[in-house]
């Protein structure tokens, strides 16, 4: 492999790096953003794919996020790789907030009163299936408007960023070509 470590990391080192990157979160986010900008597709397709990933991130169906994002991106004509990147909006840091917000919005839509099931955020591993299944409908329903709003915002932000990046890249390549052509000796 081209970028393989000489001494592979242990499983604990891999988990530590995944939870807290060595080069800081800012550097990791910057790298993540560059990966999205450098995709070779139209700004519209990249933005649609990313928006599909953001939309799916709000759902509590964890094992299905990638599959759902690819299907939605395909149906909308978006980029599947950008959809993968969009699902990263839902991560261990943002999931508790997203769960709480989607459950709250879904409970308001369903007009659940004080007897509504409580969201088992603190002890999710110890929660029974009946507790989890009781909070799933409000979470799924609340995920729809939140996903649509955040997906729409993500679409416009990513489309603008990709357009600007691709235009600057075309300009940079054109200036290099002009410089190369003017420096070439005429025969």
Total tally of structural domains belonging to the chain: 1
Residue whose token pair is 């604990």? 12
pTM of the prediction?
A: 0.75
155 found inside a domain:
yes
60 found inside a domain:
yes
37 found inside a domain:
no
25 found inside a domain:
no
150 found inside a domain:
yes
75 found inside a domain:
yes
DSSP assignment of 102-148 equals: HHHHHHHHHT--TTSPPP--TTGGG--HHHHHHHHHHHHHHHHHHHH
pLDDT, tens digit, 9 for 90 and up, residues 53-62? 999 999 988 8
pLDDT, tens digit, 9 for 90 and up, residues 108-146? 888 876 666 676 666 666 777 777 778 888 889 999 999
- The predicted structure's pLDDT at residue 117: 67
More confident residue, 99 or 29: 99
Q: Provide the residue range defining the domain that includes 134.
A: 42-180
pLDDT, tens digit, 9 for 90 and up, residues 3-46? 677 888 888 887 777 777 676 767 777 776 777 777 778 899 99
Q: Which residues contact 153 (CB under 8 A, 6 or more apart)?
A: none
More confident residue, 120 or 91: 91
50 found inside a domain:
yes
Dihedral-angle region of residue 111 (phi above 0 means left; psi in -120 to 50 means alpha; beta otherwise): left
Model confidence at 153: pLDDT above 90: yes
134 found inside a domain:
yes
- The predicted structure's pLDDT at residue 25: 67
């Amino acid at each position: 492999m081209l970028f393989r470590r000489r001494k592979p990391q242990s499983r604990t080192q891999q988990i530590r790096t995944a939870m807290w990157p060595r080069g800081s979160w800012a550097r990791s986010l910057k790298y993540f953003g560059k990966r999205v900008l450098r995709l070779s597709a139209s700004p519209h397709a990249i933005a649609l794919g990313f928006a599909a990933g953001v939309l799916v991130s709000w759902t509590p169906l964890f094992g299905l996020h990638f599959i759902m994002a690819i299907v939605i991106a395909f149906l909308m004509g978006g980029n599947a790789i950008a959809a993968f990147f969009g699902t990263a909006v839902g991560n261990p840091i943002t999931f508790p907030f997203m769960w709480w917000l989607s459950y709250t919005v879904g409970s308001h839509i369903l007009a659940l009163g004080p007897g509504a099931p409580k969201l088992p955020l603190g002890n999710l591993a110890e929660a029974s299936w009946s507790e989890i299944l009781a909070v799933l409908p409000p979470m799924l329903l609340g995920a729809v408007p939140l996903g649509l709003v955040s997906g729409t915002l993500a679409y416009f932000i990513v489309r603008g960023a990709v357009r600007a990046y691709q235009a600057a890249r075309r300009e940079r390549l054109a200036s290099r070509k002009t410089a190369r052509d003017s420096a070439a000796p005429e025969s």
